[in-house]
Structure 1
């Protein structure tokens, strides 16, 4: 049986477009996760409460997608160096374990109210670790045809389970916000992780166990992009990625029941009520959400390739360099910025003008950005950009000294 890794060769040069895509995504993550004001920010920088997806809801699937793009090329290079499948899988398991442990640490830091029986298990890095290990095993031990079958089975099976199979003791549960803590995803989270959750009063988790299964397909979408690029960075390959992107967005939107469109964002309840409808929903990581965000990721990668790798130059253009810096040390930027943000939000307190104790983050918003910028959303955005630029500078320093932290 021929695996993808055995027939996917490494591209002749490092894909600068992938570094830039990764860096843009990290920068966007900082803007949406570290907003200056606790409320009052711009709508596209907010997660939707339930059904739909703003640009903020594209960020996490883009990370998974990019892991998938790099995976076949990484495996092919290591195979050329003589690594066996067993060695490659052990290496992937070790990396996944480290990533999972870092995720648990980051998610529970600074441990102010955490106890052993309530610390949160799921999280962003934890899901990436799970999907990376699953994706590696599929690439190593299955054919491309089998991988497509597995992806299809995960998407269709997840839809059938949530839409038609009764939850024990509850029956078939509607996929509405009212039943967020009672659907199959929440039921399995409660059964397997109890109070080690982070949403809905610790009764369900957006990064929980069941919804991690369709997340594997998000990573597999990146693997499909790698297959498309294996013969070179040609105009035909970029066109195929663009057409895949259009097909993914349209398929997700149709399966989601034609949810209202705002640009490429999707907000609100399905326009069509029917048995086949599976609403686009990040919290549940629905199959329609997988197709929709995979389509957007294919389009974004095609655009980056066209802009940056179609005619490669010795150095990235000036506009792209900050994103190259972030993209080549993405895990470091994600972890360190997240930990520092929590220190500024929770641990480091100062005395405000009225004598109250406030976090350094809130003090900066109230005393620096709000007085300078009358618009609350704009002041919040500028605060977030200033914070993100600190980490651009850190990663630029690391890049120039050829310091690249890898797991």
Structure 2
């Protein structure tokens, strides 16, 4: 690998930060790659080969039905974690430039509202006006917006010690609440889909429909521990931006913290199962540990050692991540892929044509993002 250094003009083009962390955009892009279409490549490989090896990888790119953990569960919380990492560089930078906390609070609220509205748009058809009971209000973007908002409030008004205290307060409080409560008719501590208190609370307070009828994996109540996921990112970002340690030592601190989080997650799992649907406290520790390890690796390789060129593919995705996430509401990517590369799939023939077309699907999306990157056109939220 060869080191690549961006020009000053490149450094300030991101919609997320003013000071450049190449690794932050790259890791965000790596995260989004899998839902951009990367997972379909491995599903296709598993299908056409019947190989246990590809089958195991394909299985990791699915969500467990309830308890348990697959690597695909990391995508959503990693994105929220990275939004937290960006906070000291974006919100913190505005503070340094003289913006008042009140101004920044309003800006954060605005971003949260936009993300909530975009989430509703992604979840529901825009062809016709639906009655409220047919609209799904909870969403991935909505949870990111709400958790990001509260994490930023805490960042603005609490010092480092209190930020750490709030991190633990949310997940310990959530654990105790679900441990000693339940839906009516169930024993305290019931964590089944119909019996747990978080799903019951969503059934009471969330308007519209829930994704699974009686439960929504992006429900309002289980957003409480998700705030800790965002806060963990804030703490990591603060370390990278303002810590006095050598850059390599910062990466080591992140890695060691990540390993400790994974150990705590496995212990906590014995009493409070790792469960993405409920965003359990053990899940927060599990995805937090993996997020810290990934950030440590990307930061050390890219920003400390200076090896950047290999990550350019991911950076292009990461700098327009929200745009590509919502793009399927406006662009028929399957049609575009068939238009550009249908001939290639026909030439390859069955069964491997589905693998080739899955790769081409990613290529078409990436070229679209690369065009925007070259034009310095980014969706800012």
- Of 359, 368, 371, 1:385 maps to 359
Matched residue pairs, number? Answer: 349
Is residue 2:314 matched to residue 1:303?
no
Contact 2:320–2:379, Cα closer than 8 Å, also in 1: yes
> Would the alpha carbon gap of residues 166 and 101 (structure 1) be closer, same or farther in structure 2, given more than 3 Å must change?
closer
Question: 1:288–1:46: structure 2 CA closer, same or farther, 3 Å change rule?
Answer: same
Where 1:52 maps in the other structure, the secondary structure is coil
Measured after TM superposition, the shift of residue 28 of structure 1 is 1.0
TM-score, normalised by the number of residues in structure 2:
0.83
**Greater per-residue helix proportion:** 2
Residue 382 (structure 1) shift: 4.7
Verify: 1:335 aligned to 2:346, yes or no. Answer: no
Distance 2:18 2:142 in 1: 32
What residue in structure 2 maps to residue 401 of structure 1?
Answer: 375
1:109 aligns with 2:125: yes
Alignment pair present for 1:16 and 2:32: no
Residue 227 in 1 paired to residue 238 in 2?
A: yes
Alignment deviations for residues 28-54 of structure 1 (CA, whole Å, 9 cap, x no partner): 1223776777x9672111111111111
Q: CA deviation at 1:112?
A: 6.7
Q: CA deviation at 1:117?
A: 2.0
1: CA distance, partners of 2:234 / 2:180 = 30
- Residues 383 and 185 (structure 1), Cα distance of their counterparts in 2 relative to 1, 3 Å cut: farther
Unmatched 5+ stretches in structure 1: 1-9, 258-276, 349-359
String of CA shifts for 1:56-114, please: whole Å, max 9, x gaps: 11100100000000012212211122100000000111111111111111111355795
Greater CA drift, 12-21 or 99-108: 12-21
Counterpart residue number, 1:216:
227
Query: In the TM superposition, what whole-angstrom CA distance separates every residue of 1:298-327 from its partner, at most 9, and x where no partner exists?
Result: 0001110121111337xx31x311111111
Match of 1:354 in 2: none
1:47 to 58, 63, 88: 63
Kindly state the Cα deviation for residue 196 of structure 1 after the two structures are TM-superposed. Answer: 2.2
Coordinate RMSD, CA, aligned: 2.9
Mapping of 1:141-156 within 5 angstroms? 141-156=157-172
Task: Indicate how the Cα distance of structure 1 residues 211 and 384 shifts in structure 2: closer, same or farther if over 3 A, else same.
Answer: farther
Q: Is the 8 A contact 2:38 2:362 kept in 1?
A: no
The question of 1:97 aligning with 2:110 is answered no
Distance 1:394 1:215 in 2: 32
State the alpha-carbon separation in 2 of the partners of residues 398 and 194 from structure 1. 37
Residue among 71, 82, 87 paired with 2:103: 87
Q: 1:130 aligns with which of 137, 146, 165?
A: 146
